[in-house]
Amino acid sequence: MGTAGRVEQYTLDNGLRLVTAPASTGQVASVNLWYGVGSRHEVTGRTGFAHLFEHLMFQGSGNVTKGEHFDVVERLGGDINASTSTDRTNYYETVPTHALDTVLWLEADRLATLREGMTQEVLDNQRDVVKNERRQRYDNQPYGTALERILRLAYPEGHPYHHSTIGSMADLDAADLDYVKSFHKAHYGPDNCVLTIVSDLESEDVLARVEKFFGGIPAREDLPETPDPTLRAPLGGPVRDAVTETVPAAGVFIGFRVPSYGERGHDAAQLAAAVLGQGQGSRLYRSLVVDRPIAADDGGGSADILPFRYTDSLLLVNMLAREGVEGDVLEQAIREEVAKLANGVTDEELDRARAVLERDHLHSIASPSGLADTIGSCTQLLGDPELAFTWPERWADITAEEVRAAAANLLGEDNMLVVRFDPEPETAAETLQAEAEADAAAQAQQA
């Protein structure tokens, strides 16, 4: 890649890590802050808090009014948003280059003075917004609670990855203003942040600007305790959660614990997932969508890894049944395909898997904001920004035998969790009523 080797790293006296890299298109600056705080830092009774907090970061700080942060960036035609995961919270903006200082100032202001801008009113409002986010993404979506169910099976009660990032309605209700302020104090310091800037400015120039706006913000005095993510026992599978509710077709979600993000074993598992379910040349697509065909066409995206840095990641397989296909039939077929992987993969399959993963990686760094995000990730989680450019090399020397061994070791039933959704059985009366309505509508349209 043309930009590899042109990444610069600096650490300010207050611990803030800055990474700079050149953009492949001109006149823009992408700013991306990865704070090392996520839902893994939440304690029982406070789930969903890291994410609720992310919302509050847009609600005003010492020198910025509610909504002003969005307003300033949108006025510049910029992109702006944030996201929260188990392992980190990130905030990002892409703006025309002349606005870089303004964005740095906005970010510095909420890092240094958010607590001064926080009120009960904005907390109440954003709590309602987040509850509606939960409804929209989880409760009012078919299969929407799958991830929560998967995490509950994968990690034991009390483990920091046992709960989802969105949290529970009850815990969201319990959030109070004092806790908001203490959370900011505990986790939001320059020493817990990687700031990545992708632009066409010289890196020394960028450093000077960052020093100016962030240099005076003190590091945290007291570091919070991080809940222990150690897994003390194997999964003890197969473990299972079966749900019957209003879904359009049976849905099968199968998960396996695999090594954490950054380990070589994780990369081998990722190749296994790609052989299994990434792209239309993948085994699950060929076998269950094209050949048999009993699974709904998902375009070739039935297996992937949910990457976690500080505990075991999860390899997840998900397919929906075709009309008239029982959930049991689909589940059995998927499990058979997964099990076959332990018999070995061909070099041709592995080459295809590498090419698909490399293509996706290139996509992820093709935009300035995507590149900044990937660099932030590689720096915050693995301490090496160059990995953003060289990541595909990690897959290059993993052999077919390593992928086979990973499958044999990790994808067995003792390490398996299954979440199954099945539609409620339709009563005869409902069937008749639906048919009558359809008939009536057809007649009305003909008339």
Partner 1 sequence: MQNRPDLGAPASFTFPKPQRITVGGGTIVALDVPGQQLASLRLVHPFGGAVEPLDAMGVSALTSEALEDGPGGNSSLAPALERHGAEWIARVNWDGFITGLDAPTNRLGEAVHLFADAVRNPALNPDDVVRRREQLLERFWLDASSASTLAMRSLGGQLFTGRYATPLAGGPVKLADISPETVARFHADSIASVAGTLVVVGDLANVDLEELGRIVFGDAAPAPERPVTEHAPPPGDLPRVLIVDRPGSVQSALVIAHRAPSRSQVDLPRAEGIGEILGGMFTSRLNMELRERLGYTYGAGSRFDLRRDSGVFFMSTQVEAGTTAHSVTSSLEQVNKLRDQGVTEDELSTVRESNTVGLPVAYSTARAMAGALVDMVVHDLPDDNVDRIRAGYEKLTAEDLNSAAVEYLRPEEAVVVVVGDADSLREPLAKTGVGPVEVRSPESLWS
CA 242 to CA 419: how far, in whole Å?
A: 6
CB of 347 to partner 1, least distance (A): 12
Nearer to partner 1, 106 or 419 (CB): 106
CB of 155 to partner 1, least distance (A): 27
- Using alpha carbons, select from 367, 376, 362, 287 the residue that is nearest to residue 83: 376
* Cβ neighbours for 60, distance < 8 A, ≥ 6 positions apart: 66, 67, 68, 69, 117, 118, 122
CA 43 to CA 226: how far, in whole Å?
A: 9
Question: Where are the alpha helices (H) located in 215-343, listed in sequence order?
Answer: 264-277, 283-284, 327-340
Nearer to partner 1, 195 or 314 (CB): 195
Q: For 168, what's the count of Cα atoms within 13 Å in the CB-facing half-sphere?
A: 13
Is the previous residue joined to 248 through a cis bond, with omega within 30 degrees of 0? no
Nearer to partner 1, 146 or 381 (CB): 146
Nearer to partner 1, 156 or 392 (CB): 392
CB of 408 to partner 1, least distance (A): 25
CA 279 to CA 351: how far, in whole Å?
A: 13
CB of 356 to partner 1, least distance (A): 5
Nearer to partner 1, 131 or 163 (CB): 131
CB of 233 to partner 1, least distance (A): 36
CA 56 to CA 91: how far, in whole Å?
A: 12
CB of 360 to partner 1, least distance (A): 9
CB of 270 to partner 1, least distance (A): 16
Place of tokens 């001064």: 116
Strand partners, 200: none
Nearer to partner 1, 110 or 159 (CB): 110
Nearer to partner 1, 269 or 371 (CB): 371
State the CB neighbour count (10 A cutoff) for residue 3: 15
CA 446 to CA 277: how far, in whole Å?
A: 45
